[in-house]
Structure 1
Amino acid sequence: MITAQPVETYTRTQEEQSDIEYLVGLMEKNDVDKIVCGLPKNMNGTIGEQAEKVQAFAEKLKEASGKQLVYWDERLTTKSAHRTLLEADVSRKKRKKVVDKIAAVYILQGYMDSISI
């Protein structure tokens, strides 16, 4: 069984092209062949403004990298990550630093489980 593992959390800058170049480099360094992008849908399943922004950026990343792009519903992943960290008795300060990594792992693992990797 293969499990998703976090690499790093990257905070986007104001320079979109710089962000794309960094992420393409990270994909090359880690031999990535597919982009799995969390899509922040509204709770009723519709695509809102934030999801549209994510899609616009992800499409540019796909174009720059030449990689296949898959969107994965990320609803409740951050909440699940917080719950997991609370159950592990991780302090609030430490949770803030790793919650996005854990949520990203849930997104990727959900996708991998769906294709039976």
Structure 2
Amino acid sequence: MAKVEPDKPGVDDPGLGRRLALDVGTVRIGVAVSDRDAKLATPVETVPRETGFKDRDKGDIDRILELIEDYDVVEVVVGLPRDLHANGSKSVKHAKEIAFRIRRRLAAGATMDKVLPPVRMADERLTTVAATHALRASGVSERKGRAVIDQAAAVEILQSWLDGRVNALAD
């Protein structure tokens, strides 16, 4: 698969406010959110993946939009799965599809007095590996870990984005 380029943190930055990150899989979508100062990522929930490529939006998209609204999100960060050579993996289509659907639904519900949060694609290389190691190190069994691994990966994606944002804005 061809090289796939993620967005860069800090470019067209919306300022302070919560960010929401998604780790999109074929079965589940891990969700994490930042604090209002955009410094620390925490897990939120794991949303069962329902919407396929040819489906209408289903409950998973609805739930993500609810979370965006509930947390008053200023930026959405979707993990872009790439291999170590920066090539897109098979999962890139899934991540891009979810990002497209979120952008479309946000635009459809837009009003003149509300700024739409941008939907960005972030490099997520090795985030699931890092999340798995972190859970194992904290004593979470592999069986119990399956329920939260996607949330932990979303935390890794978001924390990396937040750290990159701090560095980009400092330059």
TM-score bucket of the superposed structures, by smaller chain:
0.7 to 0.9
4+ runs deviating over 3 angstroms: none
Question: What is aligned with 2:149?
Answer: 99
Note the C-alpha offset of 1:16: 4.5
Note the C-alpha offset of 1:49: 3.2
Structure 1 unmatched ranges of 5 or more: none
Q: Write 1 or 2 for the structure with the bigger share of helix.
A: 1
Determine which of 57, 70, 73 is the counterpart of 1:17.
Answer: 57
- Go from structure 1 to structure 2 and tell me whether the alpha carbon gap of 1:88 and 1:69 turns closer, same or farther (over 3 Å shift): same
Would you say the 8 A contact 2:122–2:157 is kept in 1?
yes
Determine which of 95, 104, 110 is the counterpart of 1:63.
Answer: 104
Q: Deviations over 1:40-72 (max 9, x none)?
A: 112311123320231122112112114301111
Would you say the 8 A contact 1:24–1:61 is kept in 2?
yes
How far, CA to CA, are the matches of 2:80 and 2:156 in structure 1? 13
Structure 2 unmatched ranges of 5 or more: 1-36, 108-116
**Counterpart secondary structure, 1:41:** coil
Would you say the 8 A contact 1:35–1:62 is kept in 2?
no
TM score, norm. by length of structure 1: 0.88
Q: Write 1 or 2 for the structure with the bigger share of strand.
A: 2
Question: What is aligned with 1:36?
Answer: 77
TM score, norm. by length of structure 2: 0.62
Note the C-alpha offset of 1:87: 1.3
Determine which of 14, 18, 40 is the counterpart of 1:3.
Answer: 40
* Residue-pair matches, total: 117
RMSD (Å), alpha carbons: 1.8
Would you say the 8 A contact 1:39–1:74 is kept in 2?
yes
